[in-house]
Structure 1
Amino acid sequence: MENTRYYLGFNRVNGIGPARLDRLIEWCGSIEAAWCASVAELAAAGLEPKLIESLIETRRTLDLDREIERARRAGITLIDRENPAYPAPLRHIPSPPPLLYVRGALSEADSWSVAVVGTRQPTSYGREATRRLTTGLVEAGVTIVSGLALGIDSIAHTAALDAGGRTLAVLPCGADMVYPERHAALARRIAGNGALISEFPLGARPIPQLFPVRNRLISALARGVLVVEAGAKSGALITVDYALEQGRDVFAVPGPIFSPRSEGTNQLIRNGAGLATCAGDILEALDMSVAASQQEVRTALPDDPVEAAVLALVGYEPLHIDDLQRRTSMPVYEVSAALAVLELKGFVRQSAPMCYVLAH
């Protein structure tokens, strides 16, 4: 929690994103040292004069304790990337957000997630397709990720909740706000059985520049992205671009050839996206048919710091068990046992004998 305050502070400095923050930490030795660095040290670390001025002013005016209390009063949990609760899928994307603001609760079950996105003005066909596919995914134990927007997003969130499932909403604004405001009641439901997630500071308004940034987290939190209806220039296609960069599978619901709202989805299918006519198409392609049963296994096993330490090192490039043992400095039998449990839980898989990668 001590370092969380400094991540919170840097998150309030315009212009210091994940990449610049990483350089500062590398130069200064720690997040605390970076926050407390002198002007000369900040300049030596390569920070531009305007950013140095902005950081110094933020340090002078921002009361970190008061900001943490402000989040607590709003029911928001702060999760920095050093926290074991930080979502594992985000650790392996370019420039992961240093700090997440979470209203509600994240769960191990959320590692079995599919993002559902699409147009803000769906047809009756798109609405029904969203409800049917979302319900099928939830019944298989899958968490639904979306952006709380009008149209397909809100229909997907609502269908997930109505089916008794979990759903995550990634916001284009601060987690103490709701956008659009008309979804305030839906947001409260999501916080009760899922989470509202933001990487933006408290009070951040939903300006246009934040929407694409938000979209990269929607795809990153999911194993795959389902596009239900989208025009040729739909914002949902930005999420698809991020999904492909992140190595996520993309699925699309085919639509009528005369419907402008299906131009984007039909083009995705032509370009190689998975055709989705039912939840089973997605579950089979992502090997998620056993999601519910594996979640039962997870909840039956206690959290283990050894498992967390090992999982934090596994990525999408194969890593041999001997390398994991050296990096953790743990006995090889402990690493081996942790990998066996993580594989059972569905977090990792063997890409070759004794070589492990993330399972999603």
Structure 2
Amino acid sequence: MRGSGNPRLSSTPAPTAGELGLLVAISTLADMGPVRASALLEGRSTAEAWEAILANSIRPEDPLRRCPGVNAELLTKWADQARGMDPAATLADHCEQGVRIMTPADSAWPQRLVGDPEPPMLLYARGIPDIAAGPCVAIVGTRRCTSYGRSVAAELGEGLARAGVGVVSGLASGIDATAQRAAFGAGGRVIGVVGSGLDRIYPRSSGDLWRRLGEGGLLLSECPLGTSPAAWRFPSRNRIVAALADVVVVVESASRGGSMYTVDSAVERGRPVMSVPGPIRSPASLGTNRLIAEGCAPVCDVGDVLAAVGMAVESGEAGGPESGAGSQRTPSGDPAAVLDAIGWESQSLAGLCLATGLDPGQVTTALIRLESEGLVCCDGGWWQRTG
């Protein structure tokens, strides 16, 4: 069941239609992020904030001027942009395009965002808002995932969905989208948080998932329609992913990258972080293995994650990265040499020939045999071990 309801009653006054239009207009200003919006509204009503932008009357001592990057040039740009804008028409356009605009006063505002250190000013939503209630786990990781990481992400997404746990992520290609597709396919509650306007699909490869969540899941953004993806928006988006989850699971990640922004946001919010162990020579597992070394709990199967959110799992029901391995045959001869040469890193045909001393025909025959047994796969000319 995708929806579960949120009975919380908010004590925050609901904005009038006019005020909501102004908030939407403010969020539309170029490079207006959550920190800048909060500083602009500090000590001002929504109408006063909008008037200050229109009049370009933000003084040097104003909290907004202390935000990095806010200078006279940007304030002039905002004033010019605001003067050509009709807030009421902007609000109406969102409504006509089926976008629900949520404020902290909305009954569907996610409970986990109440008291957040950096809450969004607004959330733009398509789908079923109340599915963010109930236990949720964020599954995140690298876009450049291996077949091992992709398999584990799908297994965790499906397992959590079948257990009634919502899956939160950012629809990025790789680990994020794989986990969310698997969870949605299992009938689960799936929440996607994106770093652009809801009408700006990014990446294009996630377009199918984007549309599905907009109908039977929940698609969220703090960006108004028309907002193009920008590099700074994705780390900002990741804080919402972390905030909406009870636990954050990192499947594969380099030592740096977007996943680690999510980890930092989770730690700031007191959310537990768990990590999937991987091959020590795999670049895609450098970050996850380091997290475990630093004290994060390892994830060996979906049962570990369910236990972390306070849910029990029957013995034998939890699958893991090694599930089904016992049914595979142990290769011998040339296939064994090739499999050993692949290890847990991606290898090219030329590299395997060099490592094994076999000629291309022998290596190719061995790879066909290994692939038929489900032990390796090829991705863009690079061979990876899957079992």
**Does the C-alpha gap of structure 1 residues 45 and 288 become closer, same or farther in structure 2, counting only changes over 3 Å?**
farther
Q: How far has the Cα of 1:193 moved from its partner? A: 2.0
* Residue segments in structure 1 that go unaligned for 5+ positions in a row: 291-360
Aligned mates of 1:209, 1:110 — CA distance in 2:
28
8 Å contact kept, 1:114–1:143: yes
CA distance in 1, matches of 2:138, 2:120: 19
Q: Quick one: distance in 2 between partners of 1:229 and 1:176?
A: 29
> Aligned partner of 1:10: which letter?
I
The CA distance in 2 between the partners of 1:197 and 1:104, in whole Å, is 9
Percent same amino acid among aligned pairs? Answer: 40
> CA 1:200–1:129 in structure 2 vs 1: closer, same or farther (change >3 Å)?
same
- Answer with 1 or 2: which has the greater Rg: 2
Would you say 1:149 and 2:172 are equivalent positions? yes
Cα-Cα RMSD? 2.3
Moved more, 61-70 or 43-52: 43-52
Q: Give the alignment of 1:250-269 within 5 angstroms.
A: 250-269=273-292
| From 143, 162, 171, the counterpart of 2:194 | 171
Amino acid in structure 2 at the alignment position of 1:32: A
Greater share of residues in helix: 1
Alignment partner of 1:251: what SS?
strand
Contact map agreement 1:24 1:45 (CA 8 A) in 2: no
Distance 2:37 2:276 in 1: 40
Deviation at 1:111, TM superposition (A): 3.8
2:233 and 2:33 map into 1 onto residues whose CA distance is 13
1:34 aligns with 2:34: no
User: Structure 2: where are the runs of 5+ without partners?
Assistant: 1-15, 66-71, 314-387
After TM superposition, list the pairs within 5 Å mapping 1:13-162 onto structure 2.
13-14=29-30, 16-28=32-44, 30-37=45-52, 39=55, 42-43=58-59, 46=62, 47-48=64-65, 49-50=72-73, 52-108=75-131, 110-162=133-185
2:22 maps to amino acid: Y
Q: Aligned partners of 2:75, 2:201: CA distance in 1, in Å? A: 32
Give the TM-score, by structure 2 length.
Answer: 0.69
2:240 is aligned with 1:209: no
Separation in structure 2 between the aligned mates of residue 10 and residue 288 of structure 1, nearest angstrom: 42
Task: Please list the CA deviations of residues 241-268 of structure 1 after superposition, one character each: whole Å capped at 9, or x if unmatched.
Answer: 1111111110111112232211111111
CA offsets, 1:270-303, max 9 Å, x none? 111111111221121222449xxxxxxxxxxxxx
- Alignment CA distance shift 1:286-1:55 (3 Å): same
Going from structure 1 to structure 2, the CA distance change for 1:13 and 1:174 (only over 3 Å counts) comes to same
Q: Which whole-Å CA distance do the structure 2 matches of 1:19 and 1:187 have between them? A: 27
Aligned length: 289
1:23/1:45 contact within 8 Å kept: no
Query: What SS does the aligned partner of 2:142 have?
Result: coil
Equivalent runs, 1:246-325 vs 2, <5 Å: 246-289=269-312
Residue 163 of structure 1 aligns with an amino acid whose one-letter code is A
